[in-house]
Amino acid sequence: MLISLQAIAEAIPFFSDLLSISSSLFISGFTFYLPAMMWFMLLKEGKWYERKNIWLSIVNGLIFLIGIITLVAGTYSSIADIISQYDKGTVRGAFTCAPLE
């Protein structure tokens, strides 16, 4: 397993940025905004603005915002970094059979 991941990391010149994109797209959702949405839709008892739910509504609203900001900013910065690396010429073409220089 480790050897196959190392081969993938060597074949894809921007592997760490690819991991950053997948993290910002998927991990931010599973840890931040999906649990907050599930609380609003499934777990709260009564209306969100009732006295017993107001504190949890505020906390889950903030967690939802953090997740959306992580999704947008993380995806944007990872893609911008990949474009920057190609513009600078610091990465070679992906999946090339040419010898490394």
Please give the share of the chain, as a percent, with pLDDT higher than 90. 27
- The answer on pLDDT for 10 being more than 90 is no
Task: Summarize the confidence of residues 36-52 as an average pLDDT.
Answer: 85
- The answer on pLDDT for 66 being more than 90 is yes
Task: Summarize the confidence of residues 16-40 as an average pLDDT.
Answer: 88
Number of neighbours of residue 35 by Cβ within 10 angstroms:
16
pTM of the predicted structure, to 2 decimals: 0.72
Closest CA to 75 of 25, 13, 12, 14: 25
Mean pLDDT (the chain) is 82
Q: Please, which pLDDT band fits residue 93 given cuts at 50, 70 and 90?
A: low
Amino acid identity of residue 76, one-letter, is Y
